[in-house]
Amino acid sequence: MIEFEQLASPSQLPPPQLPGSGESQNGYEGSRADRRARRRLAIVAIAAVFGLLGGILGASVAQDLNFGVFGESPESTTQITSAPVVVASGDDLVGETAISKVAERLANSVVTISTVVDDDSGGGRAVGTGVVLTSDGEILTNAHVVEDAAEVVVRFAGETEPREARVLASDPGNDLALIKVNATGLIAATFAKPGSVRIGDTVVAIGYALALDGGPTVTSGIVSALKRTIETDSGALNSLIQTDAAISSGNSGGPLVNLKGEVVGINTAVARGDFDSAANNIGFSISVDEVLIVIEQLRDQAKGVERIEGFLGVGLAAREDGGQGAIITNVQPGSPADKAGILVDDVVLAVDGEPIDGQAGLVAAIRDAAPGQTVKIQIFREGKRLVFEATLIARSK
């Protein structure tokens, strides 16, 4: 009533004509008390009218709603409850993406590898991934996937039973291993041309992440960086591809491929954060440039050829000033480094044109070189860049 009175004040309404009010036909007359009484009666009357109108309108709306929702009109009910679900015809093949084509192409060339581990910790089971190299059963994987394995089995896509496999050769330093199953007619993966990978290239990681049932996991990303070097439990790994494609446990040994379906790397490790740092979507793959070299070394090793690593004869330390390279802390007398003229406190920047980002990078570069091989070592000394040639010798066991 108060709001209504404020919205339609008496000064805006004609004087009500009520019987027995004491008013004349000519206007507003009578005492102030009479006028107040007439005003209250007018407000009550107006409110009653609006209340009556509201009730009529409310009943009408409710009736309409009841008829529309609960009424017996078949036509109305059909319109609300039986609208068809829209389903694509599939003729345009929108879902046939480049990544789905890559996954389909590699489906028969990627296998799951299961091992029974027998080590000092009591053993157990492990699962990784492998890539088919040849139609007659050669398969490439990570060395750490088959490390200490007493039993190795492989299962192909679409098969329910595993096949026994044997380890032909393993290179823990480069984290690659060659295994073999007795088979013919397998579909071998295609490897990319060395040097063809570029930063920013779209790549796809394929592997049996977390040993989940139902086939390999497919993730995509880009090449984030090239020629990375990291230190692992097995040693230093160099010439790595860094990618933001998700790589998880079980992906080890699986391929990183380009949009042509060509293998550009073998997935090997991921960066993990700790209390002091965060790591997101940082995975590493052994580049095809390195993989193709090591495959031939593994094949030679499988034939009985002993693998001998190169030796330079220096001690190393990491730079702590934010600069690139590794610091020479010791040079063994008579070693290849000594004969080449390398000195203590020299900073090694590159070997054969490959940048050295730390002491692990130099260790890996020399390890991968063969005894008798001459390498060019770029040194930073007293503000100058110098190049020395060193002929490596065999590392003693």
Q: Which residues are catalytic?
A: 144, 175, 252
State how far the Cα of 396 lies from the Cα of 75, in Å rounded to an integer: 92
| Tokens standing for residue 296 | 């031939």
DSSP state of 259: T
Q: What is the length of the chain?
A: 397
- Spell out the alpha helix ranges (H) of 82-137: 98-106
Residue with the two structure tokens 């929702």: 69
First-to-last C-alpha distance (Å) of the chain: 103
Q: What residues have CB less than 8 Å from 390, skipping those under 6 apart?
A: 312, 336, 337, 339, 340, 342, 374, 375, 377
State how far the Cα of 136 lies from the Cα of 117, in Å rounded to an integer: 26
Q: How open is the CA angle 11-12-16, to the nearest 5 degrees?
A: 80
Contact 176, 123 (CB under 8 A): no
Contact 371, 393 (CB under 8 A): yes
Contact 368, 376 (CB under 8 A): no
Q: How open is the CA angle 285-289-290, to the nearest 5 degrees?
A: 65
Count of H helices and E strands in the chain? Answer: 8, 20
| 373 φ, ψ (degrees, to nearest 5) | -80, 140
| 17 φ, ψ (degrees, to nearest 5) | -100, 95
Residue with the two structure tokens 């979507």: 281
Q: Which amino acid is at 379?
A: I
